[in-house]
Amino acid sequence: MKKLPDFEAWAIFATVANEGSFAQAAQRLGLSQATVSKAIARLEERSDSTLFHRTSRQMTLTNTGEAVLEQAQALLDQGAEIESEIAEQVGQLSGVVRVSAPMSFGVSSLAPLLPAFMERHPEVELNIHFDDSFVDIVAERFDLALRISRLEDSTLLARHCCEIRTVLVAAPTYVERFGLLKHPKDLLTHRILMYVYHRRGMQWHFMHPEKGRYVQALPEPVMRVNNANGMLPALRAGLGVTMLPEFLVADDLRTGALVPVLGDWQAEPADLYIVMPPGRRRPARVNALIEYLVAQLREEPWQIN
């Protein structure tokens, strides 16, 4: 008589691989360490293979363990999804929502919005990943991502939240030393602080109500950072000029710690989107978070005026 697969043991295996130890997996699952060890032993006996290399100092997956981990993780995810959907059928949102967001925007503007959602839906677990680099949300199994860009043609589904203005700014001490800019071409003689993931790279785009659009190539920056917050101390110290989104500098502009430096020339704005993988029926908890964020971010709470 054919035995059913040991689904529980495979779910435990995936958790052990993710947590890196039997003890941490047991704590994560609310099981005893002995129960976790026995589950792995059952799998190894049934498959006549070794899934983990174990030493006194560390535990790593064998080649066999590496080969089956993705399928085991899928079983674990599917089981959690089934239970979440049942809970949602009776009106209680539950389960994990995986979110990707840019670091600076995520910390300054997304994170403050999350406590209210968490209080409203206490059984929903938020897994937030802050990263300024481009994240493949399909390959990395994110439910949604926040993107600040002019969204190009894409297979991803998208909801527009708001426009985000960008501002060319410097400290008053910098302006005293180097003066205001009259035209974007004046950037060639200024000290540039550069965010390396700027969507336009080493060319900044500007608009003027009478003179139209202008694209300016930049000189070699005096500082490059892969997170925009990293340039703020140098910026406030008067060591350069840079282009930053309004949400990041709104407080500094209100207090006068930073000032706009390019008169009637406006930096090209960007748009804030929530993007989602295509072709997937989204759980109610994911839809609830999307609708909540769209409503909150539409207000642009960071706006200066």
Residue 221: per-residue pLDDT: 94
> Does 276 lie in the same domain as 134?
yes
Confidence band (pLDDT; 50, 70, 90) for 192? Answer: very high
Distance CA 144, CA 287 (A): 10
Over the stretch 33-88, which tens digit does the pLDDT of each residue have? 888 888 888 888 888 888 888 877 778 888 888 888 888 887 877 777 776 666 66
Distance CA 141, CA 12 (A): 20
Confidence band (pLDDT; 50, 70, 90) for 101? Answer: very high
Confidence band (pLDDT; 50, 70, 90) for 120? Answer: very high
DSSP β-bridge partners for residue 243: 168
pTM of the model: 0.67
CB count, 10 Å around CB of 207? 14
Task: State the sign of the Cα–Cα–Cα–Cα dihedral 196, 197, 202, 204.
Answer: negative
Residue 55: per-residue pLDDT: 77
> Does 155 lie in the same domain as 275?
yes
CATH number of the domain bearing residue 230: 3.40.190.290
* Tally of domains within the chain: 3
DSSP β-bridge partners for residue 287: none
> Does 154 lie in the same domain as 283?
yes
On whether residue 203 sits in a domain, the answer given is: yes
On whether residue 243 sits in a domain, the answer given is: yes
Confidence band (pLDDT; 50, 70, 90) for 7? Answer: confident
Residue 280: per-residue pLDDT: 63
Which residue in 209, 210, 170 sits closest to 186, CA to CA? 170
pLDDT of 165 over the 60 cut: yes
CB 62 within 8 A of CB 52: yes
Domain that holds residue 227: 166-268
Calculate the alpha carbon distances from 302 to 105, 116, 213, 248 in Å.
11, 18, 26, 8
Over the stretch 241-300, which tens digit does the pLDDT of each residue have? 999 998 899 899 999 999 999 988 988 888 899 999 887 678 889 999 999 999 999 876
Instruction: Note the Cα 83 to chain centre separation in Å.
Output: 26
Confidence band (pLDDT; 50, 70, 90) for 304? Answer: low
CB count, 10 Å around CB of 39? 23
Burial per residue of 180-202, b for 16 or more beta-carbon CB atoms within 10 angstroms, e otherwise: ebeebebbeebbbbbbebbeeee
Residue 269: per-residue pLDDT: 85
On whether residue 302 sits in a domain, the answer given is: no
Token pair belonging to 186: 């004046």
Residue 60: per-residue pLDDT: 86
pLDDT of 89 over the 70 cut: no
On whether residue 183 sits in a domain, the answer given is: yes
> Does 135 lie in the same domain as 147?
yes
Distance CA 154, CA 142 (A): 16
Over the stretch 142-161, which tens digit does the pLDDT of each residue have? 999 999 876 665 677 888 89
